Amino acid sequence: MSALPKDQLGYRRMAPDDLATVADLERSLYEFPWSKGNFRDSLEAGYDCWVACDGPRVIGYAILMVALDEAHLLNIAVAAGWQNQGIGRAFLEHVLGVAREAKCQIVYLEVRPSNAAARHLYRDMGFQQIAIRPGYYPARGGREDALFLGITL
């Protein structure tokens, strides 16, 4: 693990030049990753695409889709070597702040029931379960449900 002093953690909007790095990180973190094209489409669609940085190094990313007064967090991730030191929590707070500034009243997301770390973080931040989306995710040997969560801002 790389210990990162909090004042070294920064956020900025994702740029086209980040796509390769973000897609590499995504492949290292998910068994069923988004493609580089999925990230490019998100940028081109005008979604709120952010990266978290340790100095110049991209160590996380988040994609937020804002629609009127609602937002959907489509992806958030922190590089494996930087996990479990509060960066995910701080980054999520930043993203919720972006949603608040956009005058959103609620932020939704999906999470796998098997994703214990993410579920812990979301519950701790105040997200509540709204529904289960059956067979939402690809999974080895079949599909996995999604927990559909929301937080009012």
Ligand X SMILES: CC(C)(COP(=O)(O)OP(=O)(O)OC[C@H]1O[C@@H](n2cnc3c(N)ncnc32)[C@H](O)[C@@H]1OP(=O)(O)O)[C@@H](O)C(=O)NCCC(=O)NCCS
Residues carrying an active site annotation = 110, 122
Q: Which residue, 38 or 115, is less far from ligand X as judged by CB?
A: 115
How many residues sit in the footprint of ligand X (CB under 6 A)?
A: 19
Rounded Cα distance, 134 and 136, in Å? 6
Q: Specify whether the CB–CB gap between 88 and 104 falls below 8 A.
A: no
Shortest separation between residue 64's beta carbon and ligand X, angstroms: 13
Binding mask 104-143 for ligand X (x = CB under 6 A): -------x---xxxx-xx--x-------------------
Q: Which residue, 13 or 120, is less far from ligand X as judged by CB?
A: 120
Which of 12, 89, 100, 103 binds ligand X (CB under 6 A)? It is 89
Backbone torsion region of residue 14, taken as left when φ is above 0, otherwise alpha when ψ lies between -120 and 50, otherwise beta: beta
Shortest separation between residue 137's beta carbon and ligand X, angstroms: 10
Rounded Cα distance, 120 and 84, in Å? 12
| Torsion of the alpha carbons at 20, 139, 152 and 121, rounded to the nearest 10 | -80
* Coil, helix or strand at residue 86: coil
Place of tokens 């701790």: 124
Near ligand X in 19-48, by CB under 6 A: 29
Residues within the interface to ligand X (CB under 6 A):
29, 76-78, 83-89, 111, 115-118, 120-121, 124
